[in-house]
Structure 1
Amino acid sequence: MPSVLENKIKNFTNAVEKSIEDKNWYSALALALALPDICGNLQDPKRSSSDKYIGFFNDFIKQKYTRLIGDPKEPQEFLNGRDMYALRCSFLHAGEVEISKQRIKNVLDGYIFLKPNNIIYAHMNKVNDTLQLQIDVFCKHIIQAVNEWLISYKNIKEIEERAELMIDIMGSTDNISF
């Protein structure tokens, strides 16, 4: 039987998946960008938001955005935690994808998001200091990272207790007690 934490996190990841399915790109991106914050807060609510976010990125997303390039093969980082956190701040607080004015940004100045297309797969292309991402792939990578995080942290008592405080959206016929 799934734990409270698993159920609560699945509510969020299912909502991102439904937004992708419905091609509701803004919703998918907003909620996907919030997920590392949610996991980080469950894991350690006392750390700063940026530290939690960057830590989550380094532990669960970084490998998806690092490729071996050239001869000899050298690791090339297309996205790092500071730039993803800058995107999160810029998009969630201002609806923007330019991050050049974000203090925490590291390498990138902005992002271009593309809708999926049956002809061209366009993901993780860097032009100057702008990173091009296919929105469905990016959101699915975050969901995969959250699922990996869940496997790592699902049996920790303190995290399960904090999960109890997460939002439930009730139906009008649910048994509600105050």
Structure 2
Amino acid sequence: MLEAENDGNNYAAIALGLTLPDICGSIDQPGNGKSQQRYIAWWDAYPGAYFNELFSDPADPGLISGVDAWALRCAFLHSGQDRPSGSKPAKRVRFISERIGSAGSDAVNGVVYVAVDLFVRAVQRGVERWLADRSGDEDVGDRLQQLLQIMSPDEFYDLIIDAVAIN
């Protein structure tokens, strides 16, 4: 995610930033039918908390809430859009390619403008905090080991050699 953002591949960085809460939430609470609930809770506890630290405005608590992030996730990952739809009201989140001062919320239009790098770092800090919170949890550790992994060509070659040797 950070590498994508550093390379200027902002769409990939945003997509990864919107996907990581799904993955972390699923590791915390595995099972079907809980995706929206666990995503919102995870976002509010981790990246959302970071945004609240940066932008503590009593008139607008939570620059991007879990509900907002879930709506953006659905709109972007399923349709490539930034306009949330659905039954729960959510703010529209629009991205700025480079930071111009700080991100803020346009209360008139209900639109949040946020720099891509700030969004990416909020998710990164959320994941880091979450990993620290779960550092001693063996179940979480076991589920982390089950995440998709990409082998190097050497690892694949070793796997083939071992399979041939067994047969």
For residues 55-83 of structure 1, the C-alpha deviation after alignment (integer angstroms, 9 at most, x for no partner) is 111211223333444xxx66633221111
Match of 1:137? 118
How many residues are matched? 155
Alignment RMSD (CA, Å): 1.9
Greater displacement, 73-82 / 130-139: 73-82
Return the match for 1:52 from 38, 44, 54: 38
Q: Distance in 2 between matches of 1:24 and 1:138?
A: 14
Cα distance between partner residues in 1 of 2:45 and 2:115: 22
Q: What are the ranges of 5 or more consecutive residues in structure 2 without an aligned counterpart?
A: none
**Corresponding residue to 1:78 among 63, 66, 79:** 63
Q: Report the secondary structure of 2:41's partner residue.
A: helix
Question: How far 1:153 sits from its partner (Å)?
Answer: 0.8
TM (norm. structure 2) is: 0.84
> For residue 153 of structure 1, what is the aligned residue in structure 2?
134
Higher helix proportion (structure 1 or 2): 2
Contact 1:112 1:130 survives alignment (8 Å): yes
The one of 98, 108, 115 equivalent to 1:116 is: 98
Secondary structure (helix, strand or coil) at the match of 1:76 reads coil
Q: Which is strand-richer, 1 or 2?
A: 1
CA offset at residue 122 of structure 1?
Answer: 4.2
5+ residue gaps in structure 1? Answer: 1-15
Task: Please say if 1:40 is aligned against 2:25.
Answer: yes
Q: Deviations over 1:11-53 (max 9, x none)?
A: xxxxx01101101001000011100111011111136101111
Deviation at 1:111, TM superposition (A): 2.0
Quick check: 1:90–1:102 contact (8 Å CA) kept in 2?
no
| Matched letter for residue 130 of structure 2 | W
Report the TM-score, using the length of structure 1 for normalisation: 0.79
Offset of residue 155 of structure 1? 1.7
Pick from 164, 167, 173: which aligns with 2:148?
A: 167
State the alpha-carbon separation in 1 of the partners of residues 90 and 150 from structure 2. Answer: 39
Structure number, greater radius of gyration: 2
What's the offset of the Cα at 1:144? 0.4
Q: Which residue among 102, 105, 109 is the counterpart of 1:125?
A: 105
